Structure 1
Amino acid sequence: MRILILTCATGGGHLRAAAALEKYIRETTTHEVIQMDFLKSIGKLLDKTICDSYLFMAKKTPSLFGRLYKTTNKDNPLADFVPRTTELLALQLYPRLAEVAPDVIISVHPFATEMISGLKERRRITCPLICLMTDYGVHKAWIAPNVDAYVVACDDMVNDLRRLGIPKEHIYPYGIPVHDVFFDKEDQAKLLTEMDLEPEVPTVLFMAGSMGVSNIVDLYRGLCSSPLDLQIIIITGNNKKLYKLFESEIPNSSKKTKLIQFTTEVERFMHASDLIITKPGGLTVSEALACNLPLAVFDAIPGQEEDNANFLQTHDMGVRVTKENFSAVVSSLIEHKERLRRMRESCRTFDKSRANENIVA
């Protein structure tokens, strides 16, 4: 069987979910799997325009992004504009799809779902279409008339989809694909020792790369002023400016801090930690939950990140923090270990370790 996974670069979550599923298929089956960036396949200019616009709005004008998210989740002319636009783009994508000739298509982006649905309507495409939603809330942009199956992050989303007219038998709450290494439990004390940190000291992990530079440094300073005994891991990713700021900040800190730039072993630092501070992107949330790691989420972009944050809080797997209450909330969690233990147990109960297996099946 030839499986085509359609992705694009409007945020890293889509790509990480696709990569996790592709890796699982390659390692456990004899199926052929191809990952295709559908925007790049249509044209580099279109890809750059859409991706740059998305990233600009999400980072620079989040309130506008949130208003658009809410507006397009209702029946109105703006919401109807997207399907009409993607219908035109689908015809440009079709020649590449015809070359691949897939037996099944998995879409991890609403635009791609809409495009393939339109091509199925015209009978240009006849293979099954699986829509894989990569956040913990439902938006009507994902909904299209010719989707054969929706794979969603959690049971909460089933009724939301049914209210939008999707039959229950087309909805599969299997979870968002993440790499198996996040589910492979490691010895926390051993990991901390290897990282030159103290095994018996509570450990807070900052996933700082996507946060505002001034905000995250202020949060760090606030936590360092806490009288509690704790240690900190900071991952700045590709944010070189933030890395340099922390390089000069850490020597003056009262808390033992390990600073990491880009790493391909995020799971090791998650398994070593007791609490993660992060923006609530769908894949980061899923990876932390796979590690049974409670979350304190900060700076959620209005829209899907708000949905993810609300999901975590509703199920006692995370808390929402602001710049004003951050130190108090995090210090309280570290001090009251029973609360943190209950949150970790809630993460453990939310078990999506068979997501890849179930999707392939």
Structure 2
Amino acid sequence: MSHSDSPNRITVISASMGAGHDGAATELTRHLTAAGFLVDRHDFLDLLPARIGKLLSGAYLRLLTWAPAGYQRIYAATEHERRPNPAVRALLRGAERRTLATVAPDTRAVVSTYPGASQVLGALRLRGRLAIPALTYLTDFSVHSLWVAPGIDAHLAAHAIPAAQAHEQGAAGVTVTGPMTDPRFTPADEDERRAARTRFGLPPDTPLALLVAGSWGVGPVREAAAEILGTGVALPVVVCGRNHALAERLRADGIAHVHGWVDDMPGLMHACDVLVQNAGGLTSLEALAGGLPVVSYRCIPGHGQTNAAALDEAGLAPWIREPDQLAPTLTELLHGPRGRAQREAGLALFTAAPGPVPAVTAMVRGPLSAVRPGRRSSSTALPAGTPDLSTATLPSRRRLAGTPGPRAGGRFGLPARPGRPVEALRLPVAARFAAGSRQARRRTVLMVAAVAATLSLGIGAPLAYAYGESPGHHFGALTHYLEDDDR
């Protein structure tokens, strides 16, 4: 078989921070495999030095659980920064060697579904150490600045709202591709609905509100469940993910229908009439694909609230900010025209664009020598029918929300910052792993600094940063020293 006929290999890098990034990577892998690609999957947390990934995941969970106000301060303080703070940059620099090692010699593109991985890939592209296209698939409906990495060739968005946010922050190659979900998430007919209710032991005729809080079961879930029950409009059906303690507390509170981790979420959605969510992640998209109206309520800080605002702005899910609005909003969604309109809007989201595979394919099929980090190559073929918006003026996000999204594969694209030219597909393995005394010393210093930042400062480091006592001065000299490499 000739090289042109052989399958193209793509590397997908996600992160097991909750289930959203991994869920998006799973669907991306499935779609790419169906399109004939060979796909390698990696967890970015495994690529961080000294097994810091699991510590960071645990610290993030504890922060959401124990200090949600602190997380909100962190998110707000960093939401529009142009680059990560020195401590984060030093930590990410430690993942570069392992990230490069995951990319096999015949790989044609790397796709990230996690912002930390995107930052690493973008840095490698800018310095010419990664000579194949790097793309980011935005898994959130709102875009934190960490998602936008200089050097990334394309940022793929599910909707025009996150696309506009990414563009406003300087992202290159912004493309509205539409979302991806498991094909089992489809609207249910009445027979499927009744069968699903029987299977889950749910009442046959009572309106049911499916309350979800991600795989970790974080946020004021008990309050939300009690308030849904108190409206008398719908009966709450709560999914706690892997939070077994939360499930026990809810049962003690008198909530009759409580589930832990649910393998058959499509079936449970078929059984319910509305989704109440607090984070705006993958589950919201799955509900929209299944024809369920979605509402955001008692959202977790940071991305939970910005995602809720973006979904509301897009007309896909109202954000209830006050408890006295819960009952009337649920009533409108369950029994009024608002519910029908939102079901139609949700389903239309999945037919307006073909998903990210055509955009990834366009990057893969383009001549590698013509691709420059941070900009789309003029010689890269776009999917058939894609309008060229490379010189178009981007509408404001508010105006964009009231207009139909771009056609399938459409791009938002003002010319991006120029990157550095790439001279070869991949640097020789021997050159990448050559360890002179200076390089070895740099890696050692980085490892010690990263471990110290995570273990000694822990949650305190981002909290201090958010509250104006930036730890950057502890890492400034180190970061400057490290970033001299390969410049």
**TM interval, short-chain normalised:** 0.7 to 0.9
The correspondence for 1:6, drawn from 4, 10, 13, is 13
Aligned to 1:24: 31
Name stretches of at least 5 consecutive residues in structure 1 with no aligned partner: none
1:164 matched to 2:169? The reply is yes
Percent identity over paired residues: 22
When residues 87 and 242 of structure 1 are mapped into structure 2, their CA distance, relative to the original with a 3 A threshold, is closer
CA distance in 2, matches of 1:285, 1:335: 17
When residues 199 and 189 of structure 1 are mapped into structure 2, their CA distance, relative to the original with a 3 A threshold, is farther
Residue 199 of structure 1: CA displacement?
5.3
CA RMSD, aligned part only?
A: 2.9
1:177 matched to 2:184? The reply is no
TM-score, normalization by structure 1: 0.84
Query: Is contact 2:217-2:240 (8 Å) kept?
Result: no
What does 1:61-210 align with in structure 2 at a 5 Å threshold? Answer: 61-75=67-81, 79-81=84-86, 84-85=89-90, 88-94=93-99, 96-97=101-102, 102-166=107-171, 170-182=173-185, 184-196=186-198, 197=202, 200-208=205-213, 210=216
Query: Is contact 1:90-1:118 (8 Å) kept?
Result: no
SS at match of 2:341: helix
Aligned to 1:48: 54
Aligned to 1:282: 281
SS at match of 1:300: coil
Residue 44 of structure 1: CA displacement?
5.1
SS at match of 2:107: coil
More helix by share: 1
Cα displacement string for residues 17-43 of structure 1 (whole angstroms, at most 9, x for unaligned residues): 0011112223x1332101111231334
Aligned to 2:263: 264
1:358 matched to 2:371? The reply is no
CA distance in 1, matches of 2:62, 2:68: 9
Residue 360 of structure 1: CA displacement?
4.8
Name stretches of at least 5 consecutive residues in structure 2 with no aligned partner: 1-7, 362-487
Structure with higher Rg: it is 2
The correspondence for 1:237, drawn from 241, 249, 271, is 241
CA distance in 2, matches of 1:302, 1:276: 19
By relative contact order (CA 8 Å, sep 6+), the higher-ranking structure is 2
Cα displacement string for residues 76-105 of structure 1 (whole angstroms, at most 9, x for unaligned residues): 7x8442673256224432552355652210
1:216 matched to 2:226? The reply is no
Query: Is contact 2:213-2:240 (8 Å) kept?
Result: yes
CA distance in 2, matches of 1:32, 1:66: 39
CA distance in 2, matches of 1:331, 1:107: 36
Aligned to 1:346: 345
Residue 249 of structure 1: CA displacement?
4.9
When residues 6 and 100 of structure 1 are mapped into structure 2, their CA distance, relative to the original with a 3 A threshold, is farther
Q: Which amino acid aligns with 2:180?
A: P
Query: Is contact 1:189-1:199 (8 Å) kept?
Result: no
| More displaced stretch, 113-122 vs 184-193 | 184-193
Cα displacement string for residues 91-136 of structure 1 (whole angstroms, at most 9, x for unaligned residues): 4325523556522100111211111122222322101101111111
When residues 86 and 118 of structure 1 are mapped into structure 2, their CA distance, relative to the original with a 3 A threshold, is farther
Cα displacement string for residues 172-226 of structure 1 (whole angstroms, at most 9, x for unaligned residues): 11134322222x333244323442245554221122564458x433433333344
CA distance in 2, matches of 1:335, 1:152: 29
SS at match of 1:114: helix
Query: Is contact 2:141-2:162 (8 Å) kept?
Result: yes
Pairs aligned (count): 349
CA distance in 1, matches of 2:195, 2:236: 14
CA distance in 2, matches of 1:124, 1:163: 27
Query: Is contact 2:80-2:169 (8 Å) kept?
Result: no
